[in-house]
Amino acid sequence: MKRQMALIIGTALTLVMAQAQAEDISAGEAIYTQSCAHCHGGSGQGMGSFPSIAGQDADYIAKRLTQYRAGEKVGPNTPLMAPMATDLSDDDIADLAAYISTTFE
């Protein structure tokens, strides 16, 4: 009986942890709408010196955001973008990458 309980609790914990690690597209959408859309556009299409981010895969988006967060220079307008990434957590980046790569074409 005790062993069974331990097994059930162990399984439940594993499920909860697996869920915490999965990307959350709706969380990514919430961040995007609030912090990104006014530059990159409602469909990631970009405008003016704000590049289009539509059609990129999740790895590319996540890599860029990690570079900006780390303060690396990426393109000529890095100073406009880098401050937008400084407060993003690893989870935020994964959520944003999942949202952008699956929603915009």
Interface residues with ligand HEC (CB under 6 A)?
31, 35-36, 38-40, 49-51, 53, 61, 64-65, 74-78, 80-81, 84, 96
Q: Which is nearer to ligand HEC, 15 or 89 (CB)?
A: 89
Please name which of 46, 20, 23, 29 lies closest in space to residue 100, comparing C-alpha atoms: 29
CB of 3 to ligand HEC, least distance (A): 47
Question: 95 with 31: CB under 8 angstroms?
Answer: yes
By beta-carbon distance, which residue lies closest to ligand HEC? 75
The token pair at 56 is 């990129």
Cβ 72 to ligand HEC shortest distance, Å: 9
In the complex with ligand HEC, which residue's Cβ is closer, 12 or 38?
A: 38
Report the nearest approach of ligand HEC to the CB of residue 20 (Å).
21
Report d(CA 105, CA 101) in Å as an integer: 8
Torsion from C-alpha of 24, 29, 31, 36, nearest 10 degrees: 140
Quote the CA–CA distance of 73 and 79 in Å, as a whole number: 8
- What is the smallest separation between the CB atom of 54 and ligand HEC, expressed in angstroms? 10
